Structure formats: C-alpha cells, structure tokens
Structure 1
C-alpha cells in the first residue's frame, strides 16, 4: 500500500503539472504549431497518468487504450516541430493520428470475438509505436549539430530521451504481452516515476523561458515556439549577464559578406569556430543571441539566398540556369534551394527572376552594397 500511495502521489503531481502547462499556454494565447502539439502532449500525459493509475476501472479501457495508443504519433509530431524549424503540419499528419486511433478501437472491440487476430494487431500497433519513437530520435540526431539554442539542445534532448525510453518500454511490453501498467501492479510505479520526470522537464521548459536583452534595453523573448523570420538579429544580446562579443560579430559579418564563406561545400559550425579560434558554444551563442538565428542552416541560407537573389536579378546572368546559381551560392541541390528561397521570399526562384528582370535595373551590386552597409552599421 505504501508503494501504491507514492504511485498515486506522483501521478497526482504529474497531472497537476501537465494541467498547469495547458493553462499557461492558453493564457499566453500560444498558437504556434509547437505550442499546440505541446498542449496535445500534455493532455495525453495527463490522460495517461490518470488512466494507468492503480484502481482505475478496467471496464473503461476499451475506449482509453485506443486514444493512448495514438499518443506516440503526437510525440513524433512534437519532436518534428521542436527540432525542425522548417516543419509545417499537414493534413496527412492528422490522418495518421486518426488512423492509429481507429485501428486501436478495432482491436479493442474485436478482442472478445477474435483474440488471436487482435493479439497480432496489438503487435502491429507496438511496431508502429517503435517506428514513431525511432523517427523522433532520428529527428533529434539529424538536427542536433545545427541547433543554435543552447537551452533547447539540453532540455529537449533530455526530455526526448526519457519519452523515447518510456514509449519503447510500453511498446516492448506489447510485443512480449507483459502488463507493465496493470493497475496496482509492480510495473505501475516506474511508469508513474517516468511520467513525473517528464512533467517536471516539460514544466521547466514552459515556465523558464529565457529573455534576450539587447544593448538598448529592449527585451525579446526567445520562446520555444517562435520560429518567425522577424525574430532575427537581436543586436548584442545578453542572457543571464553573458554579453555577446561585438568583435566576434564583426569578424563573422566580414567572413560572410566579404569572403562569402557560406559558398563552401559542407560548411559546419565547427569549421567556423576553428576559423575564429573560439569554442563552438561561443559561436553558437553569438549567432543565436547576437543575430537571432535558431538554426545554423537558416543562418547560412540567409546569405546564400541573398547571393542567389543578386544573381537572379542580374541581366548579365539571364541565361544562367537556376541550378547553377543555387550551387554557386552554396546549395548542394535544387530541392532545398527552392524550399528555402520560397520560404524567404514567398516566390519561386523563376518567379523572382521574372519580376526582378521586368523592373528598371539599378547599378550592379548597389542593392547588395546597401544591405551590407546597413548590416555593418547594425552590428557596430
């Protein structure tokens, strides 16, 4: 009974934290896709903590289990939104979630009549859970190196590892037919403890959003769900009293605008840090807190797209293929270039070239020179 009491206490605290996260997100009127998925995850965690608790009536499991079985899909989508700044929710993502829920209902309703078939379906559902957990882990690894937000790199990676571990345990139990969450069973307490740790990490991530303070006294929150282009370039930002070195920003600007190092194939942040002879974390901090970029690829792509825009606007390069211009600017294929260009300008490269060449032409390089001059004045 003592272990059961602790179990229930942990689940009560977990439910309270998840509910508080949802309320805070609603009060902040958060509408970003990551915030919405975070609320969905919190609601799922709250639901899971209650329905897998000791003494929860088994008669309700026929409708509880299908909903819980689709929670890994919500987690996978949250990981995509949290670790990929270019991710956009599509209708087929919702269709995947609905399909898993529907499949779960089919299994629970058919368990009494076709137990063998339902058991095989349960193993398929466990396999889907593992695939989604692996996909979320791959997303973390794939974007780990280019992530510039130190807090996001630390906190969300820890939360992801715990969530993946919890999902893997439950899915593995489904393969082996081990009741790890039987009410009052010995496996219920570890589940409650994992849920509590996850809730605490989610609470820290929600309630401890850092503030970037600029030199002129203005403040701008670097919120977990703010991926808009307008969030860039917070000049000489500080966080917790750590000031971004303006000399490093000027050296970085010279390297990008004059030497155009962004054209180098396979350029990584470690290469730039070695070029400046500074620790990698300091360069990450300078680009993130000093210039407002959350992702190293987005930082490079800004310069590459400006380079491509200048070439596309040049009448002398009218006959140069778009692919050649993209690769000269540093892109390695046409697909990423088209996506990044349209996200930045709202037009395809061909549309931009057509409109630019139809307008009266200014002196070659004048627009780019003005932008470079303005950027240097901003940096100081």
Structure 2
C-alpha cells in the first residue's frame, strides 16, 4: 500500500508543479491545482495518522465540486456558473465539514444531522461529477484544439472513472484503497503527459476569453482578419481557400444545423483536416464560434440595411432554428440584443 501511495503522490506532485508553472495565473489553473491537492489528500488519508483524518476528509470532500468547476472552466465554450449549480457545489462539501465535529458522519447520530450533513451532500457529489463529465463530452466535436480533445478523453475515461471510485469508496466505506491509489497514479500520469505534450490551449479556450466585454470589439476586428486564408506558401492554402469560398462566398454557414461533419462532407475532406484548417489557419478554437461569427456579421449588416425586415426572418435566413438561439448568440458576440443593435444604428 505504501508503494502505491508513494507512486500516486509522486505523479500528483509532478503534475502539480507543471500546472503551477504554466497555468497558475489562470482561474482554471488554480482550480486544477486544488483538484490535484484534493486527490493527494485522498491518497494520503489511507496512510496518515488519525489526528489528520478530519483535515484530509474536509479537503477531499471538495473534490467533486472542484472537478465540476474544472470541467466548466476548461471545456465549456462560454463558462457561466448557474447560481443553482454553485449552491449545489457549495452544499456538497460545506455541510459535511460543519457537521463532522458533531458526529454527523455517524449513522447513529440524529437522523436530520446525518441526512442533511452527509447523505444529501453525497447525492450532490454524484450529480456534480456526472455534470462535469457531461460538460466535457457534449462539446467534443466542436472543439478544434487537438490537445484539448485528447485531454477531454483523458478526463472522461481515467479521471472520471477514478473520481467515481473515490467518491463511492468514501461514501460507502468500501475498502478499495489499493485499486483507487493505482488508478489515481495512472490517471495523473496520463493527464500530465497530455499537459506536457500540448500545453497551448489545453486548459484555456482563448476564444471565449477574447469575447469578454472588455475586449470584445478588438476580438471581432481580429476575427474578421483571421478569415483571410494563409499565404500561398502554406501547403494547406488550397484547402483553406476552398473553405473560405464555401463559407464566405457561397454562404454555406447559413445551413441549418451545420456541423463539422456536414462541412467536411461538403468539402470531401476528413474532419481532422477541416478542424486543422479552422484552428490553424483561421485561428478559431471552437467550431460554433467560427460559424456564429459569420452568421452574426451578416445579421448585423442586414439589421442596418433592412430596417423593415423582421428580426426572426433574418435569424432563420442565416441558419438559426429559433429566434431565442439567435438572440443568445448575438448577445454573446455583440453584448446587446439584435433589437438594441438595430436601434443604436438607426
């Protein structure tokens, strides 16, 4: 057991130092550091003395909430924490920490203290873990950064499975120490390898950061410039030019329910090639951002030049299925509704 614990703690320490060195200035990096610290607390709790168990227990109870927040910040195109989810995350570790000194972990304690302090937070932990895995998986196809796509897979398969085992063993008192310690070490090795191999953009969606209100206009100006294809010396110039003509001149972006797969089939190219062109040549990290940028630019032009055309008609013409989805995408890029934009330009 000591050997597995040492192996896992060593792997966690190496990855901790890598994240501390390269991502400590980012919020997602700070959350990742806490995930690693909480995992180390779990591994250490199997060999630590009784006097340290309460502290290690409080730290590792935060693991599901930290994992959910990590997935939200690293893999959601527009990270926004719903207040309900924030409350759920806080409830998953604060009541256990507060009720532990009063014996809330003991099933023989007052039923309300045991249930409100431990049982209900356990359900919250499972919900948070599943939500984090869902966030990681749902945007898989639209992610254009290869390193982050591999990191998604690592988190889904290794870290997600390990975290579920950790949570189940903690909540139900199962003796899976050796199994979980080995899984923690292997999962950490895999994640560390992916972080070292492709650091750029792995933990941060630069596209979403660029569209914050403070630098929104500068981003749009640069995004328009980035739609110019690469120089002719670039081997991918011909494919980039084909994509540019298809999207900008033939307005293929107006296609309803447009996906990367549909675009690749239309160009008769493998998906990975189209993904590489959009990411490497046009510098987009998310497929939906790429499509929405062109759709919203056309919408802006039509809102001004066609003042009598209903907004819903414009939304449907440029590829949105509903007015609500158009309004949401428009406000994310322009920081105002289509109606407000039209009125401000009259």
Q: Same fold (TM over 0.5)?
A: yes
Query: 2: CA distance between counterparts of 1:355 and 1:155?
Result: 43
Alpha-carbon deviations, 1:203-227, whole Å to 9, x = none?
Answer: 23433335xxxxxxxxxx5453133
8 Å contact 1:66–1:103 — kept in the other structure? no
Report the CA distance shift for 1:328/1:36 in structure 2 as closer, same or farther (over 3 A): farther
Deviation at 1:73, TM superposition (A): 1.1
Report the CA distance shift for 1:29/1:134 in structure 2 as closer, same or farther (over 3 A): closer
Report the CA distance shift for 1:202/1:148 in structure 2 as closer, same or farther (over 3 A): same
Report the CA distance shift for 1:36/1:350 in structure 2 as closer, same or farther (over 3 A): farther
| Structure 2 match to 1:136 | 132
| Residue 8 (structure 1) aligned to one of 5, 9, 14 | 5
Query: 1: CA distance between counterparts of 2:229 and 2:198?
Result: 19
| Structure 2 match to 1:298 | 289
Q: TM-score, normalised by structure 2?
A: 0.83
Query: 1: CA distance between counterparts of 2:137 and 2:277?
Result: 23
Alpha-carbon deviations, 1:28-55, whole Å to 9, x = none?
Answer: 6523x422322232232333333x232x
Alpha-carbon deviations, 1:228-268, whole Å to 9, x = none?
Answer: 34485397779xxxx66111111111111111111111111
Alpha-carbon deviations, 1:165-215, whole Å to 9, x = none?
Answer: 12222333356x3333xxxxxx222222122123223323433335xxxxx
8 Å contact 2:41–2:57 — kept in the other structure? no
8 Å contact 1:22–1:43 — kept in the other structure? no
Q: Which has the higher helix share?
A: 2
Report the CA distance shift for 1:100/1:198 in structure 2 as closer, same or farther (over 3 A): same
8 Å contact 1:209–1:224 — kept in the other structure? no
Q: Partner of 2:308: helix, strand, or coil?
A: coil
Query: 2: CA distance between counterparts of 1:234 and 1:67?
Result: 47
Residues 269-278 or 80-89, more deviating: 80-89
Larger Rg: 1
Q: TM-score, normalised by structure 1?
A: 0.76
Query: 2: CA distance between counterparts of 1:323 and 1:234?
Result: 27
| Residue 37 (structure 2) aligned to one of 39, 43, 49 | 43
Report the CA distance shift for 1:321/1:61 in structure 2 as closer, same or farther (over 3 A): farther
**Which stretches of structure 1, 4 residues or longer, exceed 6 Å deviation after superposition?**
234-238
Query: 2: CA distance between counterparts of 1:123 and 1:244?
Result: 59
| Residue 177 (structure 2) aligned to one of 150, 163, 188 | 188
Q: Partner of 2:139: helix, strand, or coil?
A: helix
Report the CA distance shift for 1:237/1:44 in structure 2 as closer, same or farther (over 3 A): farther
| Residue 96 (structure 2) aligned to one of 66, 89, 104 | 104
| Structure 1 match to 2:216 | none
RMSD: 2.8
Alignment of 1:166-181 (within 5 A): 166-173=162-169, 177-180=172-175
Alpha-carbon deviations, 1:339-378, whole Å to 9, x = none?
Answer: 3222322322222111222xxxxxxxxxxxxxxxxxxxxx
| Residue 17 (structure 1) aligned to one of 14, 19, 33 | 14
Aligned residues between the structures: 326
| Structure 2 match to 1:208 | 197
| Structure 2 match to 1:347 | 336
Report the CA distance shift for 1:139/1:322 in structure 2 as closer, same or farther (over 3 A): same
| Residue 60 (structure 1) aligned to one of 36, 52, 56 | 52
Q: Partner of 1:144: helix, strand, or coil?
A: coil
2:271 pairs with 1:280: yes
Deviation at 1:318, TM superposition (A): 1.5
Alignment of 1:84-123 (within 5 A): 84-89=76-81, 94-108=86-100, 109=102, 110-111=104-105, 114-115=108-109, 117=111, 120=115, 122-123=118-119
Deviation at 1:22, TM superposition (A): 4.3
Alpha-carbon deviations, 1:37-82, whole Å to 9, x = none?
Answer: 22232232333333x232x123333343233222111111211222
